[in-house]
Structure formats: structure tokens, C-alpha cells
Structure 1
Amino acid sequence: MRGFGSIENLFDRPTYKFENEIVNTLLNSTNIRIEKIISDGHTTGWYDQDQDEFVCLLTGYAELEILSDDGDLNILKLSPGDNILIKKHTKHRVIKTTKCNWLCIFFN
């Protein structure tokens, strides 16, 4: 049908062991980017982004470390369905992942 793209399931995961996080950009326009990220045992360095980010953990277990405005480090433990809005320039990183499927929306 005209105007339809391919169908992707947000819960799909590869059946093989993967070395790096898998990032699939689902939508990318001027003011918004939507990504599906798959991770398992992967962590990240510190992020300090120019956009707000809405993060939803669809599957798995994860821990985020967030630096608050007053300099305190906070560890957030996420289970399926948990979500958080990370305001732009809030320093954060992923410190633990186990069989995670993420939906991340970056916007201005």
C-alpha cells in the first residue's frame, strides 16, 4: 500500500550474542528522533545532550546513573514499563542492562 513503511516490532530481539548495542532510528525529523535500542550487558559513558529525552524500558532490567542539579549521583533501577523524562543537559549514563529493549524519544 502506498505510504506504508515496513513493520517493526518493538519487542523483537536478535537470537545471537551481539557485541555492541543495537540502535535503530525509527523516526528522525527536525524536532524529534525516535530510537529503538537493544542492549544486554552494555553500558555507556556520560551523556550531556542538547535535547530532552523520554526513555521507556520495554523489556529487561536496567540501571541509570543521573547527576542531579545539586551534584548528587542517583541510581534509578528500571523494570519493564518504567519510563523517565531526562531534561536536556542532565548528565546521565547507563550502568547496567539485562535483555533490554528501549524506546527513546529525543525532542526540543
Structure 2
Amino acid sequence: MSNVFSNLPSNLPEEIFEDLVATDNVRIERILSHGQSSPESGWYDQDENEWVIVLQGQGIIEFEGGRTVTLNSGDHINIKAREKHKVAGTAKDEITVWLAVFYK
């Protein structure tokens, strides 16, 4: 048994991506952020759909074309495969804990 809130680092200079489950059809990933955002250039452009929830903190997702979505604790969104997006920002005063489910 594991807990998604265990082993949260006290210092987080870079985002941490951890696979919790990985099969041929689904991958569940815990992401830890603390004020990070995606690089200015480039977009996530994935072959899989991605369902993501913020369990703690806040994250702002920007989509190609300028639409932004702010996710607070408990908020979730489904991002379709090939839908270009990036993280515009995350909470600076606490660790943001994301749970992302990638599926075909």
C-alpha cells in the first residue's frame, strides 16, 4: 500500500514525475510541482488521452489557442489525445500534487 501524499520533498527545484501504475493500456502518474511551469517553447502533444486531477495545490493549464484552465484541489479535466497543452503555472506557496491517468 502507498499514499500519494507520502514522501513529499521539502525542497523541489524541479518537477517530479513518478509512474504509480504502467500497463499497455493505462499509465497513472503522480506529478509534484512547486511553482514550476512548462518551458516557453513547445507543447505536450501526446498520443494518449490524459485525465488529470489536482489533489493539493493549484495548476494552470494553457491550451494551444490561448484557453487556460485553473485547477484547484479536487478539480479535474480530461485532455484529448493530440490536444496541445502546457502547464502555465503552479502554486508557489505549497507543493501541487497532480494525479494523471493516461489512456488510449
Q: Shorter-chain TM-score: which interval? A: 0.7 to 0.9
Trace 1:1-108 onto structure 2 (pairs within 5 A): 7-12=1-6, 14-45=8-39, 46-67=43-64, 72-98=65-91, 99-108=95-104
Task: Say which SS state the counterpart of residue 58 (structure 1) adopts.
Answer: strand
Deviation at 1:55, TM superposition (A): 0.4
Count of matched residue pairs: 98
RMSD: 1.2
Hey, what's the Cα distance between the residues in 1 that align with 2:80 and 2:4? 24
Percent of residue pairs bearing the same amino acid type: 36
Following superposition, which runs of at least 4 residues in structure 1 exceed 4 angstroms of deviation?
Answer: none
Unaligned stretches of 5+ residues in structure 1 = 1-6
Alpha-carbon shift at residue 11 of structure 1 (Å): 2.3
Cα distance in 2 for partners of 1:22, 1:78 equals 18
Following TM superposition, by how much is the alpha carbon of 1:10 offset from its aligned partner in structure 2, in angstroms? 1.4
